[in-house]
């Protein structure tokens, strides 16, 4: 059983909570537990959306620097591979994912939030990639996911300087999607996740897969991926129900079974 990462499923929404006080430092063990839980969730058809949370106080203040300082180059080659695998397992989850950010989301904490599809942040939260202040660069996706999300120049600014941004600046540059009072973060993320979970599971997952994979291919290849996924959805019960409901009742009133 995981020691520092908790999993609870509520009405088809999985809530994954980091529980390593005081700062939710992302140690090697925490990374391993994140990978284990993400691997489990990727196989669960009863889970239709995922919320990643750090608790009421903060999301995650980054890697365990004391642990990392003891590692040499040879050890880090292996450790960095497992770190990338853990965060990529979150990014590859077939379900829609939402990071519910309170307090700090720094370094690896910010990168873990970047691995999610959406980010809900507290109005007093602070995000950043301060690895440069340690003589390092982000090592869990920051140099790749951050510029894809906010643009190259803004990503270079945050990574080169190591500075933190507050919630309002994060919202303005597209680093987070929603800003709410701190005590409403989890509830807002859960409300959003519930809306996503009520949608057609197979179509939702197909859209996520095609969008994510399409970012890394040329337009022609991406359009062919889209065409194939679109056509395949005509084999689902949800497509039949959705179209019949539209004809009989108008848009937005269908109930989906996930089949």
Other CB atoms within 10 A of residue 133 CB: 12
User: For the range 241-247, what are the long-range contacts, defined as Cβ-Cβ under 8 Å and sequence gap of 24 or more?
Assistant: 242/200
Other CB atoms within 10 A of residue 137 CB: 12
Instruction: Return the structure tokens found at 252.
Output: 């937005």
Is 8 noted as a catalytic residue in this protein? no
Please tell me which residue in 111, 169, 226, 248 is annotated as part of the active site: 111
Is 169 noted as a catalytic residue in this protein? no
* Per-residue CA distances from 121 to 58, 142, 160, 207 (Å): 10, 18, 23, 24
Please tell me which residue in 131, 226, 237, 248 is annotated as part of the active site: 131
* Per-residue CA distances from 220 to 22, 91, 116, 203 (Å): 49, 24, 26, 21
Residues annotated catalytic, as ranges: 111, 131
């Amino acid at each position: 059983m995981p020691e520092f990462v908790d999993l609870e499923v509520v009405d088809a929404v999985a809530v994954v909570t980091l529980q390593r006080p005081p700062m939710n430092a992302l140690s090697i063990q925490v990374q391993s537990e994140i990978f284990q839980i993400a691997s489990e969730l990727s196989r669960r058809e009863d889970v239709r959306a995922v919320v990643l949370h750090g608790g009421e106080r903060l999301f995650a203040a980054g890697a365990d620097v004391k642990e990392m300082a003891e590692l040499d180059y040879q050890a880090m080659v292996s450790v960095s591979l497992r770190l990338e695998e853990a965060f990529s397992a979150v990014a590859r989850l077939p379900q829609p994912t939402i990071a519910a950010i309170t307090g700090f989301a720094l370094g690896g904490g910010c990168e873990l939030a970047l691995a999610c599809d959406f980010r809900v942040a507290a109005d007093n939260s602070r995000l950043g990639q301060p690895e440069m202040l340690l003589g390092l660069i982000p090592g869990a996706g920051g140099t790749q996911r951050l510029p894809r999300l906010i643009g190259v120049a803004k990503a270079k600014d945050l990574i080169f300087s190591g500075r933190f941004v507050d919630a309002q600046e994060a919202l303005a540059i597209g680093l987070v999607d929603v800003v709410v009072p701190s005590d409403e973060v989890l509830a807002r993320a859960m409300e959003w996740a519930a809306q996503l979970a009520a949608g057609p599971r197979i179509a939702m997952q197909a859209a996520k897969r095609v969008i994510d994979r399409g970012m890394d291919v040329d337009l022609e290849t991406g359009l062919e991926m889209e065409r194939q996924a679109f056509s395949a959805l005509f084999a689902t019960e949800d497509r039949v129900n959705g179209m019949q409901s539209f004809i009989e009742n108008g848009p937005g009133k269908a109930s989906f079974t996930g089949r």
